[in-house]
Amino acid sequence: MRQVDHFISGGAGGAGSGRTHKIWNPSTGEVQAEVPLGDAALLDRAIAKAKEVQPEWAATNPQRRARVMFEFKRLVEAHKQELAELLSSEHGKVVDDAHGDVQRGLEVIEYACGIPQALKGEYTNGAGPGIDVYSMRQPLGIGAGITPFNFPAMIPMWMFGMAIAAGNAFILKPSERDPSVPVRLAELFLEAGAPEGLLQVVHGDKEMVDAILDHRDIAAISFVGSSDIAQYIYSRGVDNGKRVQAFGGAKNHGIVMPDADLDQVVNDLAGAAFGSAGERCMALPVVVPVGEDTADKLREKLIPAINALRVGVSNDPEAHYGPVVTPEHKARVEGWIDTAEKEGAEVVIDGRGFTLQGHEDGFFVGPTLLDRVTTDMESYKEEIFGPVLQIVRAKDFEEAVRLPSEHQYGNGVAIFTRNGHAAREFAHRVNVGMVGINVPIPVPVSYHSFGGWKRSGFGDIDQYGQEGLRFWTKTKKVTQRWPDGGGDGSNAFVIPTMG
Ligand code: NAD
């Protein structure tokens, strides 16, 4: 059985707690590898190494730090196919989609290549008589990232790219369900010229996460995962005096106005609702047609489009999407379809009990369409995270703005329309962090920033871009004067002002 090890001090890290976690091949339903679950003692070893190397890294000029990022980018590009195949084999997303997972992370690395420019501080010459004020961005020391299973390349790169470029050492605790790609990334980072111990990977579950939350040498924690855990991470981390950003679950709505191009909408929705088997925090699992007429026309077009979707093993180049990540998750998604049916939703297309010929033990869920879903249903309120699209009919624009605004999650939302005024009004008013206008999955590019609202995001600073840099640095403000020795005769007992 293949073993995936921790990556500490530039090499394999040993056992940790002695407990292990199995890594499935979701397409076949077989266990393909094991990962050791770490404990506090293992984390201590990683931290000791990080403390040793971080000061020198922080003192390395930003241009040299950027060169490591450039080389890392080159190496990841050279190994992209290998990374995508490995990712796909543990996660279950199709290989093309796994390429996207790597690419969206690499784009943050590209941004981090510009760290000398991005880190420049502010300077005011002559803020008072003979007085200058300037600011500098200093790294925090050791940062940690705790990441979900659904983007095992992109989300770690969002975090460690920015944190390390800014001068921090980084400890990554990836999802125990698909931990191989994070380790490969750390190996490539070392090969790119980073010192041993700058980027380390510790595996584990709650035991390791708690050790991270309580470790006094970790200054900041970035978390992405489900909302209850995000809230827990946020509270416990902040209680321990750390800087924490914790991003949670989602239930993104796609509003379809009566004037929308329905063929385009159906095409966009099929990809956004079912791509990656719906296991994306920026998936679009709820569609809100405005008006009964729009709803009926949309439903009519959705049915054949969904029936035409091809579900396949993750390395089938023809497949639109592959299996979900674990047998437990398959049971959970099917359980939500049961719940929706009991709650009175109409099961228009039923993906329960789906099996793929020749791969009967794989964790496949067929595409599912639910209509007449209402806001009082648990299956509407909660995240399903599977290939399930729910139609919630809105009577007018006002209701369409209200639905996502009042939902507990506020990650992303999209509006499909040809009416610029309606789109502008919607973007302005909706209480959600990321908005797409005729764009179904509005994940902002790497030089903007990413972050949802309400139960999709705890803390107040976004991921990557300038926001990411703010998160991984602290700003020092310096006020200086170089008196000529004569004294300026001011009253030192009065709070100084600049006159
Ligand atoms: P998860 O919350 O189960 O796990 C995330 C991380 O937390 C993992 O590293 C896991 O080991 C750890 N963890 C799990 N249980 C824990 C516990 N009890 N205590 C401490 N740590 C624990 O999430 P997941 O299933 O891996 O990922 C899917 C979830 O992530 C979905 O809810 C999805 O919406 C969300 N997500 C959000 C974003 C975003 O940017 N908002 C992005 C991707 C995924």
CATH number at residue 219: 3.40.605.10
CA dihedral 424, 429, 431, 435 (to 10 degrees): 0
Classify residue 494: in a domain, yes or no.
Answer: no
pLDDT tens, residue by residue, 106-133: 999 999 999 999 999 899 999 998 999 9
- The candidate with the shortest Cα–Cα distance to 111, out of 467, 443, 465, is 465
**Is pTM beyond 0.95 here?**
yes
CB 369 within 8 A of CB 285: no
Classify residue 445: in a domain, yes or no.
Answer: no
pLDDT tens, residue by residue, 178-229: 999 999 999 999 999 999 999 999 999 999 999 999 999 999 999 999 999 9
Pairwise CA distance, residues 477 & 57, whole Å:
22
Classify residue 495: in a domain, yes or no.
Answer: no
Statement: residue 305 has pLDDT above 90: yes
Question: What's the longest Cα–Cα distance across the chain?
Answer: 90
Pairwise CA distance, residues 220 & 145, whole Å:
9
Write the CATH number for 379: 3.40.309.10
- Looking at ligand 1, which atom is closest to the CA of residue 173? 9
* H helix or E strand, kind and range, residue 253: strand 253-256
What pLDDT is attached to residue 167?
A: 98
| Separation of CA 287 and ligand 1 centre (Å) | 24
Question: Is there a single domain that holds both residue 196 and residue 258?
Answer: no
CB 196 within 8 A of CB 190: yes
| Separation of CA 208 and ligand 1 centre (Å) | 14
Task: Give the tokens for residue 180.
Answer: 């191989």
> For residue 425, what are the domain limits?
253-437
CA dihedral sign, ordered 415, 416, 420, 421: negative
Question: Is there a single domain that holds both residue 277 and residue 392?
Answer: yes
Sheet containing 11-12: give its strands across. 11-12, 7-8, 199-201, 169-173, 142-146, 220-224, 243-247, 457-458
Pocket of ligand 1, beta carbon within 6 A? 146-151, 173, 175-176, 205-206, 209, 224-226, 229, 247-250, 281, 383, 385, 411, 452, 456
* Complex ipTM tops 0.95: yes
- Looking at ligand 1, which atom is closest to the CA of residue 147? 9
Instruction: Domain count for the chain, please give it.
Output: 2
- In terms of Cβ atoms closer than 10 Å to its own Cβ (0-12, 13-18, 19+), residue 114 is middle
Of all protein residues, the one whose alpha carbon is nearest to atom 23 of ligand 1 is 225
Statement: residue 468 has pLDDT above 70: yes
CA dihedral 426, 226, 323, 205 (to 10 degrees): 160
Question: Is there a single domain that holds both residue 304 and residue 157?
Answer: no
- Looking at ligand 1, which atom is closest to the CA of residue 411? 41
pLDDT class for 499, splitting at 50, 70, 90?
low
Question: Is there a single domain that holds both residue 92 and residue 216?
Answer: yes
Pairwise CA distance, residues 76 & 106, whole Å:
8
Question: Is there a single domain that holds both residue 75 and residue 163?
Answer: yes
| Separation of CA 145 and ligand 1 centre (Å) | 12
Pairwise CA distance, residues 31 & 26, whole Å:
9
The Cβ of residue 84 has, within 10 Å, a number of other Cβ atoms equal to 24
pLDDT tens, residue by residue, 18-76: 899 999 999 999 999 999 999 999 999 999 999 999 999 999 999 999 999 999 999 99
Statement: residue 165 has pLDDT above 70: yes
What pLDDT is attached to residue 341?
A: 98
Statement: residue 490 has pLDDT above 90: no
Classify residue 442: in a domain, yes or no.
Answer: no
Question: Is there a single domain that holds both residue 156 and residue 265?
Answer: no
Of all protein residues, the one whose alpha carbon is nearest to atom 10 of ligand 1 is 175
Of all protein residues, the one whose alpha carbon is nearest to atom 26 of ligand 1 is 148
Pairwise CA distance, residues 51 & 391, whole Å:
52
Helices (H) and strands (E) in the chain, counts: 16, 23
Classify residue 206: in a domain, yes or no.
Answer: yes
| Range in 139-153, 159-173, 429-443, 472-486 with the lowest mean pLDDT | 472-486
CA dihedral sign, ordered 67, 68, 72, 73: negative
Classify residue 402: in a domain, yes or no.
Answer: yes
3-state secondary structure of 158: helix
Question: Is there a single domain that holds both residue 157 and residue 188?
Answer: yes
Pocket test for ligand 1, best of 20, 23, 24, 175 (most atoms within 8 A of CB): 175
Question: Is there a single domain that holds both residue 231 and residue 257?
Answer: no
Task: Give the tokens for residue 213.
Answer: 């939350």
Pairwise CA distance, residues 305 & 269, whole Å:
10
What pLDDT is attached to residue 18?
A: 86
pLDDT tens, residue by residue, 407-427: 999 999 999 999 999 999 999
| Separation of CA 228 and ligand 1 centre (Å) | 9
% pLDDT > 90, the chain: 94
User: Catalytic positions, please?
Assistant: 281
Classify residue 451: in a domain, yes or no.
Answer: no
Question: Is there a single domain that holds both residue 134 and residue 203?
Answer: yes
* Cα 222 to Cα 46, 448, 457, 461, distances in angstroms: 17, 18, 11, 10
The secondary structure of residue 444, as a DSSP letter, is P
- Looking at ligand 1, which atom is closest to the CA of residue 249? 34
CA dihedral sign, ordered 471, 207, 154, 410: negative
Question: Is there a single domain that holds both residue 334 and residue 466?
Answer: no
Classify residue 58: in a domain, yes or no.
Answer: yes
Question: Is there a single domain that holds both residue 161 and residue 62?
Answer: yes
3-state secondary structure of 87: helix
Over its C-alpha atoms, the chain yields an Rg (Å, rounded) of: 25
pLDDT tens, residue by residue, 69-101: 999 999 999 999 999 999 999 999 999 999 999
| Separation of CA 249 and ligand 1 centre (Å) | 8
Q: What is the mean pLDDT of the chain?
A: 96
pLDDT class for 372, splitting at 50, 70, 90?
very high
Question: Is there a single domain that holds both residue 315 and residue 182?
Answer: no
Task: Give the tokens for residue 376.
Answer: 């009082």
The secondary structure of residue 394, as a DSSP letter, is B
